Chain A
Amino acid sequence: MARKRTVRNRGEAAKLEMTPMIDVVFQLLIFFIVTLQEQDILAQLNISRPAPDDQATEDRSIDLLTIEVGADQWVLNGRPFARPGGLPQLDRQLSRLASFSQDASVIIKCTADSPHGALIQILNILSREGMQNISVFSL
């Protein structure tokens, strides 16, 4: 009888109480699931900035694409496109011009009051067309 009791005691001592640990672990899990917020995937649009007194860029290349970003319109080689409605036309026009030569220089001139988003929309189109030489001037 005495021997039986010892055997049973040893068996109970080996058993670990799991319930509180599981509770804590579930709390942690819920915390992490709730606080998880996935980040947006970002794009990086590379441009180069001309030197402040660089006049040579203007007449360097004949394959020149000039886009002006104004407060409420874009101007592509002298032709205005209203914003935001004119974006599809501008898109078509730009891809047509870009198809002639991929390594043409692109000059974007931004007025001081133009929104930054308008510049990004242009850079997005140019990036799709594979244009590399993009300079941003500020007017």
Chain B
Amino acid sequence: MKRHRRINEGCDLDMTPMIDVVFQMIIFFIVTIKMDENINEEIRLEDAPEGPLATGEDPRTMVIEVDRRGWLSINNVQLNRSQLEGIISRRYNRFGNFPVVIRADRRAEHRHVRAVMDLCTNVGIWQIDFAAIKEHRN
């Protein structure tokens, strides 16, 4: 009886530390995953390794996407110019000035970017940021 128990104990692996580690990893991945980030994946940004780091600390920031063909979108929802103008002017009237980031494809022609900038200047936003890739991660 005594010998039998000792053999069982020898086979038994202590799982507790492994489960702890695995749970820690799961919590890490759940926290770092970004499911809500709706960006147009087709847009290829130009590299700007010397540019200032985008902090993304201002929650009022509006990111306007311009793809290769000049199609406009916000959060990957496609818009035409009058819809975009309506969104920008309504927001400006309600909340005042807000930062605008234009996330334009490197191959997009300037006239499409200009159209977005003109919409912003029409309502009174003069400061505009362009998004570019500082460092590739994938």
Contact = CB atoms under 8 A, between A and B. Distances in A.
Counting contact residues on chain A (CB < 8 A from B), the size range is 35 or more
Interface stretch (B26-34, B71-79, B84-92): B26-34
B29 A42 contact: no
B96 interface: no
Interface of A: 18, 21-22, 25-26, 28-29, 32-33, 35-52, 69, 110-117, 119-121, 123-125, 127-128, 136, 138
B50 A128 contact: yes
Interface residues of B, number: 54
B107 to A, nearest CB: 6
Interface string B119-138: 01100011111111111111
Interface of A is mostly: mixed
Nearest to B120: A49
A124 B106 CA distance: 13
Contacts of B120: 49
